[in-house]
A and B are shown apart, each in its own frame.
Chain A
Amino acid sequence: MNDALKRLHKIIKTFINAKKVTTDVSARALLNIKATESEHPSGYVWAIVGCVGVTMLALKLRDTLAPANSILMYLMVVVLLAARFGRKPAVIASILAVLSFDFFLVSPYFSIRVADPQYLITFAAMLAVALIISHLTAHLRQQVQIALLRESRAASLFNLSKDLSAALTYEQIAAIVTQHIVAMLHTKISLLLPDKFGELSVFTVQGKHNIPSSNAFLSMAKKVYEEQLPIGFGNDSAQIYQHLYVPLRAPMRIRGVLVVVLNKSDQSALREPIRLLETCAAQIAIAIERIHYVNVAQSAVVAMESERLRNSLLSAISHDIRTPLTTIVGISTALASNSISKEIQREMMDALQEEALRMNSLVTNMLDMAKLHAGGIKLNKQWQMLEEVIGSALGMLSRSLADHSVEVHLPASLPLLEFDAVLLERVFCNLLDNAAKYTLPQQTIWIHAKCTDVDVLIAVEDDGPGISKGMEEAIFEKFTRGDPESALTGVGLGLSICRAIIEAHGGRIWAEKHTGSAGDARRGACFIFSLPLGAPPGSDFSLDQHAFIEESLIQ
């Protein structure tokens, strides 16, 4: 009987081994799964419970039930156990089932001996069937689990690549990679990317734990980056290195290094994920490369845009500077000849001066724009009286405003406002200059202000033709004019300078057209800008009060 059993065992073993070879990789991959299952004690409990249950049922029905049915019930328990708890509990159950059957259900009852020797064959067959079934079922279960694991990893990989494809910045990539790989492998990772000088450094994600970087760590990563070969793979090196260094190889070039912490306990567990990691690394590398080229494309667009601006600036300059220059050169050569009357000379000189001044304002605007856009603007903010700046702007423009009437209405309660007086004077100058340019002589320009809870709204309005419909926003663009074919000189910079200045002060500027509501005869252009109120320093009245008491002494 023993021989028969041994032979059977051998057959089963070769059968299983044959399977084992093909499923070697996956079996090894599932070391962790197997480990958890073998540690699971409830499987053995269930093996005992199952056998005891079947035995008790069979004992009750011993007289009516044929032994073959009891055997089938035992086998059913084995199948269920193998399916639920894997091989080992099923093997135990198989042995228990044969012993119980022999002890309780085969005469002489409650004895290991058997009266009828042919039952030995039954036992052997029963054990063999039970073992084969348990192996097959457990194997099937293992396959299912492998499939499930692979499916979940495929899903994570899919999610990773899906998220990566939506990433727009390196920060997003780093966050996505950290989130997904940490969830997949339950370990710490670090992403090392080269900076613009090609120097590799850890790309930190806020709120995530990176591997603390040491010099050895960095130099190792640099080695991987330069040689483009992973470190930490294979049995030999895994013991030496604590980290797994995976190069991020993209189609064009290497884009960085992914570092994964190797814990001693799950070194074997990481064997299979290495392939997974390599796949991830490829995905990450492609995403990084994509963003790299997006940035390259963007800077190309920016370069093209600034090229376009430069061209429009050049054409504006060539037109708007040449026109007054032509006049200046023409008049000055004409003046050189002595054949003109005094009266005409006088007239020409006025024209000369006017053209020169016009060119001055043009150049001033362009220089201001250049300065504002070079980022070189430094606000000299101080607490100022609005009235004072309006006064100085009106003073500066007294020439061009000579034919217009300007009405200034400021509420007496207007607080001090914090701004750069020189720049705000530019804003008023540009707005008033526009108003003077686009309205007829004798028309009126209004300046008024009103306080809201958070800011002061200042409006410069005129009586002129107003702004063409749909141009209210466009006129603030550089080199854009309400009427491009206007005979009036200008390059369309004044308002964009105003916008740059007001926005630097934390305010807004916009244009409106008068609605012509009842009681409001005005219909021209209306430019409104806001300045934040802030907290004027006048609130510390110590000096004021002191001054006030002292002052009351006079007269």
Chain B
Amino acid sequence: MNDRKLHIVLIEDDKQIRRFLSITLESEGMRVYEAETGQQGISKVKDHEPDLVILDLGLPDMDGVKVIEHIRVWSSLPILVLSARSEEPQKVRALDAGADDYVTKPFGSSELLARIRAHLRKKNNPNHLVESRFCFGDITVDFNLRRVTRNNNVIHLTRIEYRLLTTLILNAGKVLTHNQLLREVWGPGHAERGHYLRIYMGHLRHKLERIPARPAYIFTETGVGYRFVGD
């Protein structure tokens, strides 16, 4: 992947943010295509087939969520959303529409780059999905045996907890909304059972995290959902 520059389409209406992001990303050796409006952004994504899209939700011409829906019709490329704090419902809509992640303004360049790298790595290395085991910290998940161990000691998980964990691992780095998790783990029709999700997530943390109140792997994105970070 080194022989080709990473291409990124940046859809953001604010000139200063665009400038700062372009400088940051280009100094990391990426090629940035800038777009000021949603329409422009969609056509740039079509023209350049980038590796990743950075999208601001507050665009002058159209709702950022609409842009995501447009892109998702024909592409599954990672979409990273920029959004302000206290706009949780908007974040949830964006994620439910197919965005992979969001960064809350104001954000540091290191945080943004870390997120971008995580998504690009996943995109370029889809093999980890078919690997038979996954390790994080001192915990190993064996997908074939359906077994979770910490330093070779078996951690007993219930079926739902296991399903929850595997869903999180398969989407590592990505924010999963409550709805997405409920649909994945409990099946459709349980979207209103948000508190089950919280209870089981609590159980899972108590079994996996050293300090459940200060999780190191399963992070809460308050008002939005959960994110698993395994590395």
Q: Which residues of A contact B (CB under 8 A)?
A: 353, 356-357, 360, 364, 367-368, 371, 380, 382-385, 387-392, 394-395, 406, 408, 410, 416, 421-422, 425, 447, 536-538, 543-544, 547-548, 550-555
Asked if B193 and A543 make an inter-chain contact with CB atoms under 8 angstroms apart, the answer reads yes
Determine the main DSSP class of A at the interface with B: helix
Asked if B195 and A383 make an inter-chain contact with CB atoms under 8 angstroms apart, the answer reads yes
Tell whether A387 pairs with B106 under 8 Å between CB atoms, given A422-B86, A422-B223, A551-B159.
Answer: no
Contact of A416 among B85, B106, B198, B201 (CB under 8 A): B198
Tell whether A391 pairs with B214 under 8 Å between CB atoms, given A551-B159, A555-B156.
Answer: yes
B23 at interface, CB cutoff 8 A: no
Contact of A392 among B147, B193, B220 (CB under 8 A): B220
Asked if B195 and A392 make an inter-chain contact with CB atoms under 8 angstroms apart, the answer reads no
Tell whether A408 pairs with B214 under 8 Å between CB atoms, given A421-B222, A425-B222, A554-B162.
Answer: yes
A-B contact pairs, 7 of them (CB 8 A): A382-B195, A387-B212, A388-B201, A389-B222, A392-B222, A410-B213, A554-B146
B215 at interface, CB cutoff 8 A: yes
Interface bits B189-225 vs A (CB < 8 Å: 1, else 0) = 0100111101101100100000111110001111100
Chain A residues lying within 8 Å of B193, measured Cβ to Cβ, are 543
B76 at interface, CB cutoff 8 A: no
Asked if B108 and A353 make an inter-chain contact with CB atoms under 8 angstroms apart, the answer reads yes
The 5 closest A-B pairs by CB, nearest first: A551-B158, A383-B195, A422-B223, A408-B213, A392-B220
Q: How far is the CA of A383 from the CA of B158 in the complex (A)?
A: 22
CB distance from B150 to the nearest CB of A (A): 15
Q: How far is the CA of A537 from the CA of B198 in the complex (A)?
A: 12
- Residue of B146, B190, B199 ringed by the most chain A CB atoms within 10 A: B199
Q: How far is the CA of A548 from the CA of B200 in the complex (A)?
A: 11
CB distance from B218 to the nearest CB of A (A): 9
Contact of B213 among A394, A425, A554 (CB under 8 A): A394
Number of interchain pairs (Cβ within 8 Å): 97
CB distance from A419 to the nearest CB of B (A): 11
Q: How far is the CA of A340 from the CA of B213 in the complex (A)?
A: 44
Contact of B195 among A389, A406, A416 (CB under 8 A): A416
Asked if B215 and A391 make an inter-chain contact with CB atoms under 8 angstroms apart, the answer reads yes
Asked if A421 and B223 make an inter-chain contact with CB atoms under 8 angstroms apart, the answer reads yes
**Which chain B residues (143-160) contact chain A, with CB distance < 8 Å?**
146-147, 154, 156-160
Asked if B106 and A356 make an inter-chain contact with CB atoms under 8 angstroms apart, the answer reads yes
B69 at interface, CB cutoff 8 A: no
Asked if B158 and A387 make an inter-chain contact with CB atoms under 8 angstroms apart, the answer reads no
With A367-B86, A389-B220, A554-B159 known, 6 other A-B pairs at CB within 8 A are A353-B108, A383-B198, A391-B214, A421-B222, A551-B160, A555-B146
Asked if A394 and B198 make an inter-chain contact with CB atoms under 8 angstroms apart, the answer reads no
- Residue of A360, A367, A410, A551 ringed by the most chain B CB atoms within 10 A: A551
Closest to B85 in A: A364
Asked if B201 and A394 make an inter-chain contact with CB atoms under 8 angstroms apart, the answer reads no
CB distance from B173 to the nearest CB of A (A): 16
Asked if B196 and A555 make an inter-chain contact with CB atoms under 8 angstroms apart, the answer reads no
Chain A residues lying within 8 Å of B89, measured Cβ to Cβ, are 380
Chain B residues lying within 8 Å of A353, measured Cβ to Cβ, are 108
Q: How far is the CA of A28 from the CA of B159 in the complex (A)?
A: 97
Contact of A422 among B88, B201, B202 (CB under 8 A): B88
Chain A residues lying within 8 Å of B147, measured Cβ to Cβ, are 555
Asked if A550 and B199 make an inter-chain contact with CB atoms under 8 angstroms apart, the answer reads no
Closest to A394 in B: B214
Interface bits B82-97 vs A (CB < 8 Å: 1, else 0) = 0001101100000000
Chain A residues lying within 8 Å of B199, measured Cβ to Cβ, are 385, 416, 538
Asked if B202 and A387 make an inter-chain contact with CB atoms under 8 angstroms apart, the answer reads yes
Q: Which residues of B contact A (CB under 8 A)?
A: 85-86, 88-89, 106, 108, 146-147, 154, 156-162, 190, 193-196, 198-199, 201-202, 205, 211-215, 219-223
Asked if A390 and B213 make an inter-chain contact with CB atoms under 8 angstroms apart, the answer reads yes
Q: How far is the CA of A390 from the CA of B201 in the complex (A)?
A: 14
Closest to A544 in B: B196
CB distance from A541 to the nearest CB of B (A): 11
Asked if B213 and A391 make an inter-chain contact with CB atoms under 8 angstroms apart, the answer reads yes
- Residue of A385, A394, A536, A544 ringed by the most chain B CB atoms within 10 A: A385
Chain A residues lying within 8 Å of B198, measured Cβ to Cβ, are 383-385, 388, 416
Closest to A382 in B: B194
Asked if B159 and A395 make an inter-chain contact with CB atoms under 8 angstroms apart, the answer reads no
Q: How far is the CA of A471 from the CA of B120 in the complex (A)?
A: 53
Chain A residues lying within 8 Å of B161, measured Cβ to Cβ, are 551
Asked if A385 and B202 make an inter-chain contact with CB atoms under 8 angstroms apart, the answer reads yes
Asked if B194 and A383 make an inter-chain contact with CB atoms under 8 angstroms apart, the answer reads yes
Chain B residues lying within 8 Å of A408, measured Cβ to Cβ, are 211, 213-214
Closest to A409 in B: B213
CB distance from B219 to the nearest CB of A (A): 6
Asked if B159 and A422 make an inter-chain contact with CB atoms under 8 angstroms apart, the answer reads no
CB distance from A414 to the nearest CB of B (A): 10
Asked if A360 and B106 make an inter-chain contact with CB atoms under 8 angstroms apart, the answer reads yes
Q: How far is the CA of A481 from the CA of B178 in the complex (A)?
A: 39
Q: How far is the CA of A367 from the CA of B105 in the complex (A)?
A: 14
Chain B residues lying within 8 Å of A538, measured Cβ to Cβ, are 195, 199
CB distance from A392 to the nearest CB of B (A): 4
Chain B residues lying within 8 Å of A385, measured Cβ to Cβ, are 198-199, 201-202
CB distance from A346 to the nearest CB of B (A): 14
Closest to A368 in B: B86
Q: How far is the CA of A143 from the CA of B211 in the complex (A)?
A: 95
Asked if A555 and B157 make an inter-chain contact with CB atoms under 8 angstroms apart, the answer reads yes
Q: How far is the CA of A462 from the CA of B95 in the complex (A)?
A: 38
Q: How far is the CA of A408 from the CA of B214 in the complex (A)?
A: 9
CB distance from A457 to the nearest CB of B (A): 17
Tell whether A392 pairs with B219 under 8 Å between CB atoms, given A383-B194, A387-B212, A536-B195.
Answer: yes
Asked if A547 and B215 make an inter-chain contact with CB atoms under 8 angstroms apart, the answer reads no
Chain A residues lying within 8 Å of B154, measured Cβ to Cβ, are 555
Q: How far is the CA of A552 from the CA of B106 in the complex (A)?
A: 46
Chain B residues lying within 8 Å of A371, measured Cβ to Cβ, are 86
Asked if A388 and B85 make an inter-chain contact with CB atoms under 8 angstroms apart, the answer reads no
Chain A residues lying within 8 Å of B194, measured Cβ to Cβ, are 382-383
Q: How far is the CA of A422 from the CA of B88 in the complex (A)?
A: 8
Chain B residues lying within 8 Å of A360, measured Cβ to Cβ, are 106
CB distance from B214 to the nearest CB of A (A): 5
Chain B residues lying within 8 Å of A537, measured Cβ to Cβ, are 195
Closest to A555 in B: B156
Chain A residues lying within 8 Å of B190, measured Cβ to Cβ, are 543
Q: How far is the CA of A406 from the CA of B199 in the complex (A)?
A: 23
Closest to A536 in B: B195
Q: How far is the CA of A173 from the CA of B157 in the complex (A)?
A: 69
Q: How far is the CA of A80 from the CA of B48 in the complex (A)?
A: 120
Chain A residues lying within 8 Å of B88, measured Cβ to Cβ, are 380, 422
Chain B residues lying within 8 Å of A357, measured Cβ to Cβ, are 106
Q: How far is the CA of A437 from the CA of B1 in the complex (A)?
A: 46
Q: How far is the CA of A387 from the CA of B190 in the complex (A)?
A: 23
Asked if A395 and B219 make an inter-chain contact with CB atoms under 8 angstroms apart, the answer reads yes
